[in-house]
Chains A and B, each alone.
Chain A
Amino acid sequence: MPFTIDGEPWYGRVGDSLLSAILAARSDLGPLAPDGRLRAGFCLIGLCQDCWVRLADGRRVRACTTELEAGMAVLLASDEAAW
């Protein structure tokens, strides 16, 4: 399933979460406020809130509980990513 990270094309598998698809492409989700440390999800079951990401369509989603959809455009580069 095609999707993009900061405009760059990637492919995820059917059955991937948005998080598993992103982490197959790279090792983190970019920096997270307030300290700008790199994050990559932690609990992976929707509770720690460490994997919120922004989509180009304006949505903010928790990547671990979001199913990957074809054509999703994830924005990770910007600093204030999800918060």
Chain B
Amino acid sequence: MKGAPIVVVVGAGPAGVAAARRLAEAGLRPIVLDSGPEPGGRIWRNTGSGAQGLPRLPGHDPERGRHERARFVEWRERIAFYPETTVIDVTRGRLWALASSGEVDSTPWDRLIVATGALDRVVPVPGWTLPGVVTLGGAQTALKTRGCAVGRRIAFFGTGPLLYLAAAQHLAAGVEVAVVGDTSRLRDAVAAAPDLLADPARLRLGLRCLRMLRRAGVPVLRGVRGARIEGRKTVEAIVLERRRAFWRFSCDAVATGFGLVPQTQILDLLDVPFTLEETSGLWLPLLDRAGRTSIPGVYAAGDGARPLGAEAAAMAGERAALALLEDEGSRIDAGRVAQLETTLARHERFARALARAFPHPRVLEAEIADETVVCRCENVTAGDLRRAVRELDARDVSEAKAFTRCGMGRCQGRLCGLSAARILAAIRNVRLAEAGRLRSQAPVLPMPVAARRVPAEDAA
């Protein structure tokens, strides 16, 4: 007799929670692991006592988060939820995780849904390692969960919808916004406008943020070509270059981001094939429409696979769970599948429009000055990378990593990998795909040397 399969969901954000609920409904009792203290992920997490008394922020709905967390807790009997548990390694059939107690435990798995979310994509500019420079998502998290602003007067630099959303949220919270500097041009947004109507609600939110910024008299610079962050010990100003003119804005913090990078380390360890999406320059795992990878029993969903936002992530999570159930031989609701796929297709259309409205800057990385630090963990500069190409003939980022240590540090290239590839491709004058990608290594997040191994009950 075949027992119930062991199903593990990594990540309890919108995608993981939706997947787990669907699996629980079908009686599978999934194991759900998340590094955070609560289900909900970054978007639906508890706003925390530090953030009480915060005014209503545009695009932020704490009620929704409460509702989603409560719905998840209702399933507690039928979902084995392990909070503060970070997956550090995985092989086909077994997975290792580090608990906050410092213990490492492992579990076998028959099927795995990876829903690990995304991190802001950053581009190194002079001064980006100064205290006071943070990611857009980091600034939002500090505001929404801690009720803290990362500065009194914050400059926002990068591109993408999050740039305006984060700036408007800080404005609404009473924080001064020094400037919004966007590397994309207004005509990019205008050209993409018809397709942005694929999601009128999000388009409206974006326009509302813009209006708030304009009304508050915040300078919004589009078509920014370069940036430099100044300060001795901490951020003192940002200088933005546009049309060969330099604009200096004094500020005590900078929030920066250029869209999102899926956190694909677990999929990479499992040797899921990746492909370079030319428009964004992101390496994305190959998936079918339902979220299946080409590795049997491995599924991916949410921003950790395709950055489409929280609503789409929840649907992708449910879709992946349905695929899993189908693969287990269960009958699934074809109507629901069609509904999810139609809505997901609309989200993908909207994401493509966003990518056209806020394209990744074409020259910013190619033109990074030699002395600018690219890898903040190992202190590797753009010049070090270029020397590795010129003098040591580094052909891709993996070779450059071996020669320079770029991407070998604590964050494992999460922050610098994409930029290093662009710098390499530019100086070798090859296509981005030829610059390759940094591969993930276990442990995918640092773990204490003193971490104790919990003896496995079942010797597998």
Contacts and interface: CB of A to CB of B under 8 A. Distances in A.
B411 interface: yes
Contact of B233 (A34, A38, A43): A38
Interface string B24-65: 000000000001110000100000111110000000000000
Interface residues of A, number: 33
A18 B198 CA distance: 41
Contacts of B49: 13-15
Given A15-B49, A27-B234, A44-B134, A49 B146 contact: no
A47 to B, nearest CB: 5
Contact of B410 (A13, A15, A41, A49): A49
Interface string B127-139: 0011111110111
B84 to A, nearest CB: 9
13 contacts: A14-B50, A15-B49, A15-B52, A16-B146, A38-B234, A44-B150, A45-B42, A45-B135, A47-B411, A48-B135, A48-B415, A49-B377, A64-B138
A52 B409 CA distance: 13
Contacts, number: 105
A23 B132 CA distance: 10
Contacts of A67: 37
Nearest to A65: B35
Interface of B: 35-37, 42, 48-52, 119-120, 129-135, 137-139, 141-142, 146-148, 150, 233-234, 263, 376-379, 409-411, 414-415, 445-446, 448
Query: Which of A24, A28, A41 has the most B CB atoms < 10 Å from its CB?
Result: A41
A43 B52 CA distance: 23
For the complex of A and B, the 5 pairs showing the least CB-CB separation, nearest first, are: A15-B50, A44-B138, A40-B131, A49-B410, A15-B49
A15 B42 contact: no
A45 B119 contact: yes
A28 B234 contact: yes
Contact of B448 (A28, A60, A83): A60
A69 interface: no
Contact of A37 (B138, B150, B379, B409): B379
Nearest to A17: B146
B139 A44 contact: yes
A16 B138 contact: no
A24 B151 CA distance: 10
Contacts of A40: 131-132, 234
